[in-house]
Amino acid sequence: MSAVICTVDVVLLTLLGEELAAVLLRREHEPFQGALAIPGGYVHPQDDLCAHDAAMRVIKSKTGIVAPYLEQLATFSGATRDPRGWSVSVAHYALVPYPLLAARKDAAVQMVHVVPVSQLGTLPFDHRAMIDTALERLRNKSQYSSLPCFLAGDTFTLPQLQRLYELLLGETLNKVSFRRKMSEMDILDPVDGQFEAAGAHRPAQLYRLKAAVRKTLTVLERGL
């Protein structure tokens, strides 16, 4: 009996303009050589202490970035999902601000393809199911947590953050209610002396995530 194939796959999501997009890489080897796919790789038992470590290693080695937020998503397994044999993949998802992707400087890593989720075609293995599962998780958690903040970049204004939540939730939020919920979560620090011009309006204060919550989620007792 052949050994079970054990891998990790990572759905990297970013914001391209005002649309969610997935980060894809072109596969260098069979099966599906040349096809666009989400980043993935074998678990290295001698190096990886856990699936999370394996996923972080795969992201860094294949894209050249360190994801600000990474969460285990689901396990995908079976005899038919991989042409090489019975396999199990521990899927994760990560949120990556687009400027972090644009700033990659490591020439040794692969070229990334940032594809809006509305334009995704056929993907190898069950990668489309992984992306769909990640999108559902993201939209559900956006209702009651700080998760969308990990797409916002290093600094942002409250109107920009509200717009990000609205894009992920697919609905308009009340400004006063939104700011109250952000205050309840207590996750933001104003950046001293830094503002962003806002057209005819007065400059908007810039904020960043508090250091204590930059790699963890904060949740609300009641949703937005």
186-205 burial: b if 16+ Cβ within 10 Å, else e: ebbeeeeeeeeeeeeeeeeb
Q: Where are the alpha helices (DSSP H) in the chain?
A: 51-63, 98-102, 127-141, 158-169, 175-185
Strand pairing category for 69-78 and 5-16? unpaired
Residue 11, Cβ neighbours under 10 Å: how many? 24
**Positive/negative CA dihedral, 175, 176, 177, 178:** positive
CA distance linking residue 15 with residue 164, whole number of Å:
9
CA distance linking residue 130 with residue 134, whole number of Å:
6
pLDDT at 208: 95
CB 38 within 8 A of CB 23: yes
CA distance linking residue 173 with residue 89, whole number of Å:
37
Q: For residue 91, which of 192, 177, 13, 30 has the smallest C-alpha distance?
A: 13
Tens place of pLDDT per residue across the chain (224 aa): 578 999 999 999 999 989 999 999 999 999 999 999 999 999 999 999 999 999 999 999 999 999 889 999 999 999 999 999 999 999 999 999 999 888 887 766 788 999 999 999 999 999 999 999 999 999 999 999 999 999 998 999 999 999 999 999 999 999 999 999 999 999 999 999 888 876 667 889 999 999 999 888 999 877 88
pLDDT at 199: 61
Largest CA distance in the chain: 70
Residues whose CB falls within 8 Å of the CB of residue 187, separated by 6 or more in sequence, listed in order: 146, 149, 209, 210, 213, 218
CA distance linking residue 217 with residue 215, whole number of Å:
7
Rounded to two decimals, what is the model's pTM? 0.92
pLDDT at 107: 61
Backbone angles phi, psi at 95, to 5 degrees: -105, 130
pLDDT at 74: 98
CB 195 within 8 A of CB 172: no
pLDDT at 159: 94
